Every structure is written in structure tokens, then in C-alpha cells.
Amino acid sequence: MATALVLGATGLVGKQLTQLLLTDAHWQEVHVFVRRPTGITHPKLREHVIDFDQPGQWRQQVKGTVLFSALGTTLAAAGSKQAQYKVDYTYQYQFAAAAAANGVTHYVLVSSANAATDSFFFYSRMKGELERDISQLSFQHISIMQPGLLAGARTEKRLGEQLALSLSGALQFVPGLGVTKSIQGFDVARAMIVAARTQFAKHKVYSMKELFQLVQQWPV
């Protein structure tokens, strides 16, 4: 029996992930760390409503077996690049560092296709920096998911993604444009759980193609 920790449990992937973990007998407890209540009731659920800007208040609560991180926001929702960086990099890194210090053995991160520290694009560069820095933490295993466009029902509207998703259906059959393919948030959540259960390598980055291969292994 294992204890799951979930960061970003109210988002597209995190919400699906939490539901899957709660119904999976492998996980004895599921701890979610959120800024607002999820509204979910389940005997295995342990909900921690926290202020991410006060790590001293929650750092010692980050204890378990696997940390699943699906936290993220958009530039439009954050209001500025600085604010988006705080959510997508600072909060995630601080949380991962606390987990590693507290003995969590496996870290599973939803990153992004084209994440690279030397990218011209702010979003890709930010994701690359997070991948680089969490790789230096003392986890026994690190699994990084690099999906392309995420499809599924969101609580917030992302007009840019909706336009890209509408185009991806036509583009997915064009040779060399595989990165434009979309993947359901539900499938990313399943891939995360499969990786957490089956990955024994120290560090593994999963491309879109490999994410779909993980999904084929469901259920584990």
C-alpha cells in the first residue's frame, strides 16, 4: 500500500488523477494540496488547503510515497510572466524539494513538449528550468511527462489552446507534426499512475508517443 501526494488536484489532469487514485486499491491514502477545497468526499482523501507562499506552514505535511505534480496556470490567468513563473516553477520546485527532504521516493511531473532551458519561448524555457532543477533533488525515481496539447473539460477557458486543439485534428496526420497531436487529460493522468507503478529507472522523460504507450498498459 502506498500514499499518493497530489499537487494541482483542481486542474484538468490533477482532477482526473485524484479520482483515479481514490478508486485504485494500491493507494492507501491520497493527500491533495490545494488553494481552495475540492469538494470531493472520500474515505481515502486527505485534503490540505494551504497558502503556497507560506512553505513553513505546509513543508512538514509533504510526506508519502509518490508526489504527482500537475500544477500549472496560463499567462492570461496569472496576469504576468512573473506571476506565472511563481506558480509553474517556484511553487512546484519548493514543493518537490520539501517532498525529497521528507523521504518521498518518486516524483511524477506533468511538464510540456519542447521544454528546454535554452528555448526562445518563455513557457518552454520555464518548464525546462523546472525539469533541470528537480532532477538534482534526492528522489529515487523521477518521471517527467511531456504532453503536447491537453484536451478535456476545463473549469477555465483557454482560447489559445481551444484554437490549437481545433487545428490539431487536421494536423495530426501531417508527417513531422506529431507534437501538435492532442492527448486527453484523463490519459495523462493514467500514464502518470502507470509510470509511478512501473518505472524503476532513476530518471525518465516520456514523450507524447511514450505517454500513449503508458496508457496502453492501463490498468496496472
Q: How does pLDDT run across 146-202, given as a tens digit for each residue?
A: 999 999 754 555 544 444 444 444 444 445 544 557 999 999 999 999 999 999 999
| Confidence at residue 181, expressed as pLDDT on a 0 to 100 scale | 79
Q: What is the pLDDT of residues 21-55, one digit of tens each?
A: 999 999 999 999 999 999 999 999 999 999 999 99
| Confidence at residue 156, expressed as pLDDT on a 0 to 100 scale | 54
| Confidence at residue 157, expressed as pLDDT on a 0 to 100 scale | 52
| Banded pLDDT at 1 (limits 50, 70, 90) | confident
The H or E element containing residue 127 is helix 122-134
- Let me know: does 76 contact 93? Beta carbons within 8 Å: no
- Average pLDDT of the segment spanning 88-112: 98
pTM confidence score: 0.89
| Confidence at residue 204, expressed as pLDDT on a 0 to 100 scale | 98
| Confidence at residue 69, expressed as pLDDT on a 0 to 100 scale | 99
- In angstroms, the CA 38 to CA 10 distance is 6
| Confidence at residue 161, expressed as pLDDT on a 0 to 100 scale | 47
Residues 2-215, CATH architecture: 3-Layer(aba) Sandwich (3.40)
- Let me know: does 124 contact 115? Beta carbons within 8 Å: yes
Q: What are the residue ranges spanned by the domains of the chain?
A: 2-215
Closest to 107 measured CA to CA, from 72, 70, 54, 150? 70
67: helix, strand or coil: strand
